[in-house]
Amino acid sequence: MSDGQPLVVGIDVGGTKVLAVETDREGRVLRTARGETPGRLVDASLVEDVLSAALAEVADGRPVSAVGLAAAGFVDAAGERVRFAPHLPWRDDAVRARLADRWGTTVALDNDANCVARAEASYGAAQGVASALVVTLGTGIGGAIVLDGVVLRGHNGMAGEFGHMQVVPDGQPCECGRRGCWEQYCSGNELVRIVRGELGRMPTILDELCDGDPARLTGPMVSLAAEQGDLLARRAFGSVGDWLGVGVANLVAAFDPEAVVVGGGVSAAGDRLLDPARSALTRALVGSGHRDVPPLVRARFGPEAGAVGAADLARSLL
């Protein structure tokens, strides 16, 4: 507030991480704070405590004008309730009003992938594109459809739940209660699962990164190892990237968008993820020799896109 601008904060709450950002009117990130999501089997108030701490850290004593919340789950079309969230404890829960009470400020709520799409359509990789698909890879997969700059919400406010499209009949069990969902083959969770299954079978710096305890492996460790040339970590990105391209090919067959934007935490790996995905997209897309195959581009805001879009949503209410 020192420069007379209202303080607007966006908070992205994913399955493992919380990220709060202060942005300006052009979507630039001014401050950030981070936290860890306590998980889906705890009381919702524990998650909300983490959000409050991140908000307080960003605000640093300044009065907050509006907060946008990007939640990894189904948010109703009115933006009031989290209806269902495979990785979070909220169930048909009026989260927006409760947090507005708790924080004493304007709060806006939307699905995290819709927020990513909002950020990318307003300031980023989907700006000026007539039709775009946004796919976010984090703990799971989220997504959004953008037509002429507007996020398609769907009849229940649930459009874009790409991660729970079934890609393998009777496949891996999913937190949603079904089997073979795309996010079981293409997500931060799957990166970890792939390397965990191979630890001790081949030389890898991941042994060291997790202090010899496979249970302590995380997605960012796999990213770090891949950056340093670790073969096992790179193989995991190859597999997840391949599944990314196959699933995107399915979505492109259905929508035929001008561009596909990939965001979420895993997208920080950039071309290590996107190159195998591009190969798989061209291979798996029907009629790829007879059409423009859409460019597969990284979200401009990378892992911060959800929080930036949530802040943009909150700012629109001022």
**What φ, ψ does residue 210 adopt, rounded to 5°?**
-100, 15
Closest CA to 245 of 203, 293, 281: 281
Residue 19 interacts with a copy of itself (CB under 8 A): yes or no = no
Handedness of CA 36, 238, 279, 160 (dihedral sign): negative
From CA 252, how far away is CA 257, in angstroms rounded? 6
List beta partners, residue 141: 137
Q: Does 173 bind a copy of itself (CB under 8 A)?
A: no
Could you tell me how many residues of this chain bind a copy of itself (CB under 8 A)?
A: 47
CB of 284 to a copy of itself, least distance (A): 6
C-beta closer to a copy of itself: residue 175 or 207: 175
Q: CA gyration radius for the chain?
A: 19
The beta strand positions in the chain, using DSSP E, are 8-13, 17-23, 29-36, 66-71, 74-75, 82-84, 91-93, 106-111, 131-137, 141-147, 150-151, 259-263, 296-298
Minimum gap (Å) between residue 176 Cβ and a copy of itself: 5
Does residue 246 bind a copy of itself (CB under 8 A)? yes
- Residue from 126, 248, 249, 268 binding a copy of itself (CB under 8 A): 249
For residue 287, give both structure tokens. Answer: 């009629």
Region 284-303 residues binding a copy of itself, contact defined as CB under 8 A: 284, 286-287, 289-292, 294
Give the Cα separation of 71 and 11 in Å (integer).
Answer: 8
**CB 187 to a copy of itself: min, Å:** 15
Instruction: Check residue 176 for interaction with a copy of itself (CB under 8 A).
Output: yes
Judged by CB, which is closer to a copy of itself: 61, or 177?
177
List the one residue from 100, 165, 199, 231 that touches a copy of itself (CB under 8 A). Answer: 165
Provide the minimum distance between the beta carbon of 160 and a copy of itself in the complex, in angstroms, as a whole number.
Answer: 7
Task: Give the strands of the sheet with 82-84, arranged side by side.
Answer: 74-75, 82-84, 91-93
Burial 94-127 (b: 16+ CB within 10 A, else e): ebbeebbeebebbbbbbbbbbbbbbbbbbbbbbe
CB of 166 to a copy of itself, least distance (A): 6
Among the listed ranges 31-39, 42-50, 165-173, 201-209, the one in contact with a copy of itself (CB under 8 A) is 165-173
Structure tokens at 77: 């079309």
State which of residues 84, 172, 193, 282 lies at the interface with a copy of itself (CB under 8 A). 84
Between residues 36 and 148, which has the closer beta carbon with respect to a copy of itself? 148
Cβ nearer to a copy of itself, comparing 294 with 303: 294
Pick between residue 154 and residue 212 the one whose CB is nearest to a copy of itself: 154
What CA–CA distance (Å, rounded) separates 18 from 42?
Answer: 16
Strand segments, DSSP code E, in 24-139 are 29-36, 66-71, 74-75, 82-84, 91-93, 106-111, 131-137
- Measured from the CB atom, the residue of 124 and 140 that comes closer to a copy of itself is 140
Query: According to the binding rule CB under 8 A, does residue 92 interact with a copy of itself?
Result: yes
Q: Summarize as ranges the residues that interact with a copy of itself (CB under 8 A).
A: 74, 83-84, 92, 130-131, 143, 145, 147, 152-162, 164-169, 176, 178, 181, 246, 249-251, 253-258, 284, 286-287, 289-292, 294
